[in-house]
Structures are given as structure tokens and as C-alpha cells.
Amino acid sequence: MKLNEINWGADSAENDPHLLEYFQDSAGFQRLSQKQKQLVIGRKGAGKSALRRKLLEHFAARPDTFVVSISPTFNTIKSILNDHDLQSSFGNEVFFQHIWLRQILLDCLVAVGHNAKGAYANGSIAFARQVAEQLNRTSKDLLENIAEVLTKIKAKVGNLGEFGLQLERELRNVADVDALEHHLAEIARNGANFVVIFDDLDQGWDNSTVSNNLLLGALRASTILNGKIEKLFPFIFMRSDVYSLLMPLTQHADKYRNIEAIKWDRDELMQVLSSRISFNRKEKGLEEVDNPFGTVFPESVGTTHTNNWLYERTLSRPRELLQLARLYSESVDSEEPDDSALKHAEVAYSEWKLADLTSEFSNQYPGLGELFATWKSAFRRRSYHLRRADIDEVMLKLMTDAPINQPWFNEIVGRTDILKLVSILFEVGVLGDYIAGGAGGGAKAFYSYMGPHQPRFDEVQIHPCFRRALETVERIRT
């Protein structure tokens, strides 16, 4: 099999028809399949959507379980965030909480009612079938539910504040929550189970007050229903950076601490590659081999074992590893591994990864692209290892020359806050806190994705996956 014939799968799990054939089991998936965690947190490309698809398959195979998937589209979220009424008077957490309660309950009832269509039904089942028939077997989308509830509220009051202490009761009435909840609870008591899976909640999210309240409302509604209807279990998938921003904004943060944080170690990530190589060999009728990884990748790159070399050039996420593997294999028109091709692929990969990072944090830190362009222009061929004096020089140059006119950056420039800028670059993963003579006498750079760490920033290193894009030298020069 020529290496350029390998199909590593689609960039997004949603569009990969073979994903479940090489899905990698994990302790995290086992916990989720046993309903031990509700909130799944991971950075972009960490594998949230793959887990979601596997959970959908897992629970859909159970005959007594209704699986409901809630994935608002980008345009739906954007329309909500641009709505004048929501921006000015109505877009708070408690309003969205009741919108989500209505959405979840209606979606679950429609699933039951559609399944009961044509069958003998009475009581709450009949109610669910009636709901399904009224909504033509598909529940209203989020935007329609918001519009309907807003219309009813505005017919009563000018803004939510006029409800005073009766706010939650009025919202439950307007959103028909009590009736919907009563019938779904009755159906659950008679043996039905419900799994509600939220995904793509960060589609269109822009870190605005309305967008944050929209997500906090979803978290609160899910927690409430899980407490009231024992057989309804929600899963919410969310980017870790979004989660970190939301927790300080809510008084209910303590209820959202039991999370499943998606993390990958080196061997797990290499197994992702091996599983897909084995899949390709099987598709082409080739025999199984003990070391599929070794049929595609060289044993080493320079003096570094290839598995370590690859792992060091990721932020510990499958999507970026697969992108590097794809760039490499597509350039090799033979069946033999090629270390020079792998090193050459690193250049394009590094550029892609820097652009990907800029996109990932475009809402929190707009203008990062200009910051990195300034860095590359001003410090080309400089060391990736920065000591204290180097850190000050680089950060001051970026503050002076980067053409960014954004509140977050202007605040840093106004205070000449070097530490804040370094902290942000640490947070997003570009810089690691370098500790000389750490535990056991060794030296190590700690990056934010590695886990809890209190950085000192006496010395820092640019992460290996960004060094090529920023055109640093390969060795530390003393």
C-alpha cells in the first residue's frame, strides 16, 4: 500500500463514515456509557464529536431508550445572539433556562409520540403522539421556541424585570414547562428512558453576555430535569475554554464540577494512527501486521523516536495528529516510510496549527493572527527558548508593533502588562513554562494542556508545533 493512498478519515467526526469502525475505546467512554458524568469538556479537536457519535450508537441500541440529539446550527445561534429583544431585555440565564427546558421536553415527547404513531395510546403517550402530530414529527427548533415564548411574554410585560419575584413561575407558565414535564415524567415512570445529547453549543458562540447566558441556561435546564426525571440523562459537550469562561459567571458552578475532561497520552494517540492504518490495510485486502504504525512511519526522526516526535508536535489532540499524518503520507509516493518527508510535512503542519489556534481563540482574543505575524517578522531565526530578558524584549515589541485594536490587547498595552500577555500565550498553548532542575533534577517545559500548573515564567519555550510557523531556530544557542 502506497502511503499516499491512506485515508485518515474526515477532518470532522460528524463527516467520517468509518469513524465507529476505528473508534478507540477509553475509560472516559466507559464512564459516560454508565452515565457517571454529564458534562464532557475538551479543547477543539480533542474528540468530543467522536465520543458523541459513539454514545448515540451505544444508547440507541437499547430498546427502552429514546435518544435525543440537540445540535443548534451556526445560523440559529447567530440569529439568537443578534436578536434585539434578547440583547436589550430578555437574554438572561433564567430566560434561556426555561427555553431549554421547553426544548428538551418537547424533543423527548416528539420522540415518544412519533414512535407511538398508529399504535394504541392513552394518557401521556396520547399526549406525546398529539405533540408529534402537531409538530409534524419534528420538534420546533430553538429559534422558533424562543420566538414563541418571547411573543407570549411581551404580550404580558415589557421586560422580564416586571415579573418581579414571580419570574420563574411566569416563565414556566409561558413556556408550558409544567404540563410538558408532567407528561414526560409519567412516561418515564412507565419504563421509558431518555438520553439527551447536546453538541455544537459553541457554534456561533462569541463570548458575549447573551451567548454565555444561552449556554448557562442549557447547563441549568439539564441539571434541573435530571434531578426531577430520574430516567432522563443529559450529556453536554463543550469546549474547555468556553467552560472555563462560563464557570465564574454562574452561582451554580459547584453543580458543574463533575466533568469528564478528554485527555490523551502518547500511546493512546499513537493507537489512533495505528487503528486507521489497520483499517486501510483491511480495506485493501492486506494482511494484519503486529506493528501497523511501523509500516507507515519511520522508526526515528533524527535522534528522536517517531512516536515521541509526533506527540511533541501536538497539543495532545487527535485532530492535529491526524492532520500531520495526512500531510506526511500524501507526500510519499511509495510504500516505504520516509523520515525526510515527515520533517518536511512539519512546516505545512505548523502553519496550519498556528492558523487553527488563531481561529480557536478568535472570540476570546481576536487579533492573535496579527500578533503572531508581528512575532514572525520581528524575531525570525531567534531561539524558541526565551529567558527573562528575552521575554521582556519580545512582549514589549509585540505590544508596540502588533496592529491590533481590540479591548483585551489595548488593556495590556495600556498597562504595559508583560505578565498578562505571557499568561495568555501560555493559556492558548503557544508558550510553555520552562523549569530547570525540576523533580529528579531534570528540566521540562510545562504547557497548559498538561494539567494544573502554577507558572513562574522565568524562562519559557515556544511549543514544538509552532516553532516552524514562527521560524525559530531548532536548537537552543547559549
Q: What pLDDT is stored for residue 122 in this prediction?
A: 65
Q: Residue 194 pairs with which residues in a beta bridge?
A: 66, 232
On average, the pLDDT of the chain sits at 91
**Of the listed ranges 163-177, 282-296, 327-341, the one predicted with least confidence:** 163-177
Determine contact, residues 171/95, Cβ cutoff 8 Å. Answer: yes
In which residue are the cell numbers 508536535 written?
Answer: 313
Given the DSSP bridges, would you call strands 39-42 and 259-261 parallel, antiparallel or unpaired? Answer: parallel
In which residue are the cell numbers 458552578 written?
Answer: 253
Confidence of residue 81 (pLDDT cuts 50, 70, 90): very high
Say how far apart CA 407 and CA 169 lie, in whole Å. 39
Sheet holding 431-435, edge to edge: 385-386, 460-462, 431-435, 444-446
For residues 392 and 123, the model is more confident at 392
Determine contact, residues 314/324, Cβ cutoff 8 Å. Answer: yes
Mapped onto helix, strand or coil, the DSSP state of residue 262 is coil
Q: Residue 198 pairs with which residues in a beta bridge?
A: 70, 236
Determine contact, residues 61/55, Cβ cutoff 8 Å. Answer: no
Q: What pLDDT is stored for residue 136 in this prediction?
A: 60
Q: How far is CA 255 from CA 55, 65, 94, 224, in A?
A: 23, 25, 16, 11
Amino acid 373 reads A
In which residue are the cell numbers 399504535 written?
Answer: 119
Q: What pLDDT is stored for residue 137 in this prediction?
A: 47
> What is the rounded average pLDDT of the residues 325-336?
97
Determine contact, residues 56/69, Cβ cutoff 8 Å. Answer: yes
Confidence of residue 478 (pLDDT cuts 50, 70, 90): very low
Residue 238's CB: how many other CB atoms inside 10 A? 24
Q: How far is CA 397 from CA 121, 377, 418, 460, 477, in A?
A: 72, 11, 10, 17, 21
Each residue's pLDDT tens digit, 144-158: 889 999 988 888 877
DSSP-assigned letters across all residues of 93-105: HHHHHHHHHHHHH
Q: What pLDDT is stored for residue 274 in this prediction?
A: 97
Confidence of residue 224 (pLDDT cuts 50, 70, 90): very high
> What is the rounded average pLDDT of the residues 371-379?
97
> What is the rounded average pLDDT of the residues 328-352?
97
H-helix segments, 232-338: 240-246, 266-283, 292-296, 306-312, 318-329
Confidence of residue 443 (pLDDT cuts 50, 70, 90): confident
Among 150, 162, 49, CA closest to 102: 150
Each residue's pLDDT tens digit, 265-303: 999 999 999 999 999 999 999 999 999 999 999 999 999
Helix (H) or strand (E) holding 424: helix 418-428
* Percent of the residues in the chain that have a pLDDT greater than 90, as a whole number: 73
Q: What pLDDT is stored for residue 125 in this prediction?
A: 87
Determine contact, residues 159/89, Cβ cutoff 8 Å. Answer: yes
Confidence of residue 437 (pLDDT cuts 50, 70, 90): low
Determine contact, residues 142/81, Cβ cutoff 8 Å. Answer: no
Domain ranges of the chain: 38-257, 365-478
Q: What pLDDT is stored for residue 88 in this prediction?
A: 87
Crossing angle of helices 418-428/407-415, nearest 10°? 140
Q: What pLDDT is stored for residue 11 in this prediction?
A: 76
- pTM of the complete model: 0.88
